[in-house]
Copies of this chain bind each other. A is one copy, B any other.
Amino acid sequence: MTTPPLALHPDRLFPADPGVRRLASSLYDRVRELPIISPHGHVPAQWLADDVSFADPTSLLITPDHYVTRLLHGHGVDLADLGVGQDSFDEAASRRAFRILCEHWGAYRGTPVRFWLDAQLGDIFGIEVRPSAATADAVYDQIAERLGHPDYRARALFDRFGIEVLATTDDPCDDLAAHRRLADDPSWDARVVPTFRPDRYLEPLSPTWNTDVDRLAETSGIETGEYAGWLAAMAARRAHFIAHGAVSADHSHLDPRTDPLTDAEARHLYALARQGDIGPDEAVALRRHLLFQMGLMSAEDGLVMTLHPAVRRDHHLPSSQAYGHDIGTDIPVAVEFTDALRPLLNAVGTHPGFQLVLFTLDETTFSREIAPLAGFYPSVYAGAPWWFLDAPDAILRYRAAVTETAGLAKTSGFIDDTRAFCSIPARHDMSRRLDATYLARLVAEHRLDEDEAREAIHDLVDTNPRRAFKL
């Protein structure tokens, strides 16, 4: 049997109908080379500040990418064998892990991970054969060899990927030193901005909450013994982030409710929480109130508020206990936005400084809640398909579900939300191809004129993320 090639067809993801495909291809050509704007992701700024080189194929392409590891786990592979949660992972282990991936190449058929991996291997590392048991070592060796070149250090890759803006995700107490070093570095002129992610400080039931809030006081220099101090300390850290270039604050809780308490209730529940005496329902009530406060602060200080709610984190506790968080065992749950956001949107929904981007893993909310909200409220944007929904058919479902009610202009533009640095260009490329596919269909069905589609594809890739994220 001959080794099948790794094929990166120029028309991949475009629709099969020849006429629509030609339209899609021509729309895509207008944006394929545009700079990448990545307003939400998880690549460490330190990689760029230090211009790191990457140790081996596995630690770059497999271990940090829970999209990759979760499906191998679903086929019976131990996460440990993929380097997840391992302190030391030598070259032999790295090679074994890479072989496991190659042997399970068929497990990714029909998934976006396959598209991303193909593009990473082919476009970045010049691989020309399909990974398999037979080719695993050769593919590994070729990637490992490339990683030794200076062209494959973090900054060189960043340039090659054509990234104009990259947002990281950071703890409010982070000193943002890596961001500062980048900003101060005269040899660096791209924009790497932090994102304010305060979830843990809003969850009084989290076992670390009290120490987190202590650290917040220490970092901000503002006492957090009482509720007013928490607000002031948070505002101070937000200002610190804004001073370091942040444009958004990201929030991810089990639900997105924003029910305000009275000031007296908030003070009371906060005091209970600080004493370690808060009950589960009270803790949820306090968190919802604090999320409301975060929204008010966003209206005040201008940080775009983004919501990524409704995931049962660490669903399989034994795995999380063994390997930590963000390892692929987070499972979505249903979510409700209409009533959940009503208090916040009644308070600041038409405030000129407020912008709110709604992400979801519950597709039912696209046409039922998110698009109607984005269609009416000037502040609300329908966030791009996120996580499990960042995939070809899901992206097309999103466009079909959202556009008819909210239009194209009230969508956020793409976010890659990735820890897998090398997958960034492939993820944006997928999104551009699918936006072109969607618009081509509208043109082919005479729902949009072609000159408008040409303008719209540029907007979706460039204008929309700049507007939604104030970039």
For A405, the chain B residues whose CB sits under 8 A away are: 111, 388, 391
Whether B368 lies near A363 (C-beta < 8 A) is yes
A346 at the interface (CB under 8 A from B): yes
A466 at the interface (CB under 8 A from B): no
Whether A403 lies near B110 (C-beta < 8 A) is yes
For A316, the chain B residues whose CB sits under 8 A away are: 345-346, 349-350, 376-377
Shortest A390–chain B CB gap in Å is 9
For A109, the chain B residues whose CB sits under 8 A away are: 403, 407-409, 442, 448, 452, 456
A74 at the interface (CB under 8 A from B): yes
Highest count of chain B CB atoms <10 Å: which of A111, A130, A342, A378: A111
Chain B proximity mask over A394-411: 1 for CB below 8 Å, otherwise 0:
100100110111111110
For A408, the chain B residues whose CB sits under 8 A away are: 109-110
A445 at the interface (CB under 8 A from B): yes
Highest count of chain B CB atoms <10 Å: which of A115, A332, A336, A451: A332
Which residue of the partner chain B has the closest CB to A130? B449
A393 at the interface (CB under 8 A from B): yes
A280 at the interface (CB under 8 A from B): no
For A312, the chain B residues whose CB sits under 8 A away are: 338-339, 342
For A318, the chain B residues whose CB sits under 8 A away are: 346, 350
Partner of A110, one of B397, B444, B447: B447
The docked-state distance in angstroms from the alpha carbon of A329 to that of B345 is 11
The docked-state distance in angstroms from the alpha carbon of A409 to that of B74 is 10
A55 at the interface (CB under 8 A from B): no
**3 smallest beta-carbon distances between A and B, as pairs:** A391-B404, A12-B446, A16-B444
For A208, the chain B residues whose CB sits under 8 A away are: none
14 contacts between A and B (CB under 8 A): A13-B446, A13-B447, A70-B375, A73-B376, A75-B410, A109-B407, A109-B409, A110-B447, A111-B407, A114-B447, A328-B375, A331-B338, A332-B369, A388-B405
A35 at the interface (CB under 8 A from B): no
One of A3-11, A227-235, A298-306, A413-421 at the interface: A3-11
For A378, the chain B residues whose CB sits under 8 A away are: 73-76
Whether B388 lies near A393 (C-beta < 8 A) is no
Which residue of the partner chain B has the closest CB to A70? B376
Shortest A150–chain B CB gap in Å is 34
Shortest A466–chain B CB gap in Å is 16
Whether A336 lies near B333 (C-beta < 8 A) is yes
A309 at the interface (CB under 8 A from B): no
Shortest A5–chain B CB gap in Å is 9
Shortest A82–chain B CB gap in Å is 13
A428 at the interface (CB under 8 A from B): no
A471 at the interface (CB under 8 A from B): no
Which residue of the partner chain B has the closest CB to A71? B375
For A338, the chain B residues whose CB sits under 8 A away are: 312, 315, 331-333
Whether B346 lies near A410 (C-beta < 8 A) is no
The docked-state distance in angstroms from the alpha carbon of A444 to that of B20 is 13
The docked-state distance in angstroms from the alpha carbon of A331 to that of B329 is 32
A334 at the interface (CB under 8 A from B): yes
For A376, the chain B residues whose CB sits under 8 A away are: 70-71, 73-74, 315-316, 328-329, 331
